Amino acid sequence: MLRLGRREFDAHEPVIMAIVNRTPDSFYDRGATFRDEPALSRVEQAVAEGAAIIDIGGVKAGPGEEVSAEEEARRTVGFVAEVRRRHPDVVISVDTWRHDVGAAVCEAGADVLNDAWGGVDPKLAEVAARCGAGLVCTHAGGAEPRTRPHRVAYDDVMADILRVTLALAERAVGLGVRRDGIMIDPGHDFGKNTRHSLEATRRLGEMTETGWPVLVSLSNKDFVGETLDKPVKERVLGTLATTAVSAWLGAQVYRVHEVAETKQVLDMVASIAGHRPPAVARRGLA
């Protein structure tokens, strides 16, 4: 059972986390949801299409103009409060590695802290514990925030993913974060080259077998682009193929840009796996 905010999710229930970037320089939408009204419209659409979690980010993952903690908070805190006001039951996640930003967004109504940089600020897990928030524990290969991998190497990438994410999860429990509010994330692209991310996907079952809910953030990422030699706007099919494989291997939470398409993929895989009945079943019955 995964418990986030006011929601509880069964072990085989796929959960969609919709991305809402409060940045002017996102690699994907180039600032389309930087202003409040487009961002709030994006939230409305994502919830209508089946997203249970809204993941709000105030700093893009890649290199770029420096964003202070104060500016990151300015982009996210008030927006979190407004989303909470409009959607009392939606799970609100904030993508941040900074503990002071984490504390501010939790006070504004956030339910989850999505630590995509693998515990680089150890106080963030302390904030999650103190605020009763959920926590995403990610493998980033020891990379500093907003840096790209350079000549990164692992003897065994999945062994390193397991070592890091399980240690982060157990530390969080020790600090007082609820066990049923913790997710582990292999961190596709973060501190990894394309072959590492492909292997992490291929061996994702090793993560799901640990019993921790697994979150995957696959949407339009560079490993998809390099694998298929496609630019950002032509990576949807590759992303959805990777989503289907991840779902079959037991991932539970999917951080995405395309909510409706992802939901269809997850529903189809769940039905093939026997966890979801068909929406209708008329063929051969008359």
Please confirm, yes or no, whether 86 is among the known catalytic residues.
no
Q: What are the residues whose beta carbons fall under 8 Å from the beta carbon of 36, sequence distance 6 or more?
A: 79, 82
Residue tagged active-site, from 75, 98, 221, 235: 221
Place 46 in a pLDDT band, splitting at 50, 70 and 90. very high
Give the residue-averaged pLDDT of 257-262: 98
- Domain spans of the chain? 2-273
Residues 6+ apart with CB under 8 A from 160: 139, 141, 154
- Please give the pLDDT value at position 30: 67
What one-letter code names the amino acid at 188?
H
Query: The whole model's pTM is what?
Result: 0.96
- Distance between CA 257 and CA 160 in Å, rounded? 28
Q: Where are the alpha helices (DSSP H) in the chain?
A: 36-49, 69-86, 99-108, 123-131, 157-175, 194-202, 205-208, 222-228, 236-248, 259-273
Q: Class assignment of domain 2-273? A: alpha beta
pLDDT in tens, 162-217: 999 999 999 999 999 999 999 999 999 999 999 999 999 999 999 999 999 999 99
If you ran DSSP here, which 8-state letter would residue 149 be given?
Answer: -
What is the three-class DSSP state of 10? coil
- DSSP annotation of 245 reads H
- Reply yes or no on whether 255 is catalytic: yes
Residue tagged active-site, from 84, 98, 235, 255: 255
